[in-house]
């Protein structure tokens, strides 16, 4: 179970990444949408798959997507269906503005913003006090989740958590995205970010708030530039450098006290294994698995005609082990 072997014909890191993002087809699922109100007057949409009944003891897995991800992302739909078969309920907390509805405030979300996730986890815990809680964070959501786990210290309500393909050193990853074929991924991710923000110009005066005009937005050509001119400024940072420094999860990993699994492919085109610390430097409750292959959010085994989604199997196995030992 622990050893990942890339699917025949899909060993290349880009094929792993692109197949899981663009080619995977998941059967449609019916999701129940819960609008969760936040303390600052904003909201996030949370999509449940098979929401438990009141007083249920069914374990619940809380999901956090990656940059520009949503309930439509194949990796989200895939893990929801897999977890359902294993007896878990699951719910995806969209980051602000990612569900298809613009959020109310001028701000959005970022890699180190843990407040919304913490509020949502607390709400789920109070709503289902008999249920064991687990969490999975993908890419940006993984960095955020690891930082949140460190903030919890010894008071985490989660029985276990998994981070997948997380950019735990944000500056390194932002630089990597501007090199070679990674620029293709950068354009793919940047397009919906710019489109979403441009729509919000109708409701918010970003020129007055942070000195960003529609013309300036259209000229942005990299994620680092987007973060420097918008993400950082609208969330109170001086620029991308300060945002990346304070939000990168690697520096906080040693403070995590709950059961945590970090899965990171060494051939991830968004980053490299260099961003991770030596496992010997981390507490025993953190496990790091670094397969040679897997790409970014890929980890497809089997073969092209019968792909197997190793990542989902690995995650549910880890949760079942953590649950039985708790």
Structure tokens at 244: 């990346």
307 Cβ contact partners less than 8 Å away, ≥ 6 residues apart = 7, 10, 19, 24, 300, 301
CB 33 within 8 A of CB 46: yes
For helices 310-325 and 74-85, what crossing angle results, to 10°?
50
Q: What are the catalytic residues?
A: 139, 268, 296
Of 103, 133, 105, 139, nearest to 120 (Cα)?
A: 133
Tokens 């981070």 belong to 163
- The radius of gyration computed from the CA coordinates of the chain, to the nearest angstrom, equals 19
Of 219, 221, 210, nearest to 177 (Cα)?
A: 221
Structure tokens at 101: 């509805």
Q: How far apart are CA 66 and CA 94, in angstroms?
A: 10
Burial of 123 (0-12, 13-18, 19+ CB in 10 A): middle
Q: How far apart are CA 222 and CA 189, in angstroms?
A: 10
């Amino acid at each position: 179970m622990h050893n990942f072997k890339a699917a025949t014909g899909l060993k290349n890191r880009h094929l792993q990444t692109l197949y899981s993002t663009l080619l995977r087809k998941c059967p449609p699922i019916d999701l129940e949408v819960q609008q969760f109100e936040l303390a600052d007057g904003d909201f996030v949409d949370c999509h449940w798959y098979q929401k438990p009944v009141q007083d249920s003891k069914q374990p619940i897995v809380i999901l956090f997507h990656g940059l520009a991800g949503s309930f439509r992302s194949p990796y989200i739909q895939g893990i929801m269906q897999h977890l359902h078969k294993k007896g878990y309920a699951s719910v995806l907390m969209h980051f602000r503005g990612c569900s298809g509805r613009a959020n109310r405030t001028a701000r959005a979300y970022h890699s180190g913003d843990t407040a919304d996730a913490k509020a949502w986890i607390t709400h789920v815990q109070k709503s289902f006090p008999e249920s064991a809680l687990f969490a999975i964070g993908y890419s940006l959501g993984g960095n955020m989740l690891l930082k949140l786990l460190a903030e919890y210290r010894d008071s985490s309500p989660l029985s276990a958590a998994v981070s997948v393909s997380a950019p735990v050193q944000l500056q390194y990853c932002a630089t990597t995205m501007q090199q070679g074929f990674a620029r293709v991924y950068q354009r793919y991710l940047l397009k919906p970010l710019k489109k979403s923000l441009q729509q919000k110009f109708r409701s918010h005066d970003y020129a007055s708030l942070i000195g960003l005009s529609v013309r300036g937005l259209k000229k942005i050509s990299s994620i680092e530039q987007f973060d420097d001119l918008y993400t950082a400024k609208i969330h109170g940072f001086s620029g991308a450098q300060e945002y990346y420094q304070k939000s990168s999860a690697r520096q906080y990993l040693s403070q995590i006290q709950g059961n945590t699994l970090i899965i990171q492919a060494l051939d991830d085109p968004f980053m490299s294994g260099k961003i991770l610390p030596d496992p010997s430097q981390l507490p025993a409750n953190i496990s790091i698995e670094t397969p040679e292959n897997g790409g970014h959010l890929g980890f497809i085994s089997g073969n092209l005609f019968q792909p197997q989604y190793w990542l989902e199997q690995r995650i549910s196995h880890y949760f079942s082990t953590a649950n039985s030992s708790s």
